[in-house]
Amino acid sequence: MKDINKIRRIVATMANQLHKLGYSLSQAFKTAWRHVKMFITCKVSGVTYGKRQELLQFIAGRKPEELTVYLQRDRANTHDRYAVAVVIGIKGVGYIH
């Protein structure tokens, strides 16, 4: 939970700076969150399950502009009710989930 509080502090600081530059407070927060979401780094568990190591090697060989990464709530996970799935779209290939 410390990480989310740190991220919220960063977003609030960035939004306040944007607000001082003339953005409305609402637009400042939307812009700040958009910037933070684009550059977030996190650890992912479950990467050794199945053939995920092969998929990760395949993904690592791609250019960043070919990848689209987003997080999706994994409601079907019975072990962790807060689980989030990492979904990666690869231009010309499709999605890896």
Any idea how long the chain is?
A: 97
Over residues 35-94, the pLDDT tens digits come to: 887 776 777 888 888 888 888 888 888 888 888 888 888 888 888 888 888 888 888 776
The residues spanned by each domain of the chain are 1-41, 43-97
Over residues 2-23, the pLDDT tens digits come to: 678 888 898 999 999 999 999 9
pTM for the model stands at 0.51
pLDDT for 50 = 82
Instruction: Annotate the chain with three-state secondary structure.
Output: CHHHHHHHHHHHHHHHHHHHCCCCHHHHHHHHHHHHHHCCCCCCCCCCCCCHHHHHHHHHCCCHHHEEEEEEECCCCCCCCCCEEEEEEECCCEEEC
Over residues 67-76, the pLDDT tens digits come to: 888 888 888 8
List beta partners, residue 84: 73
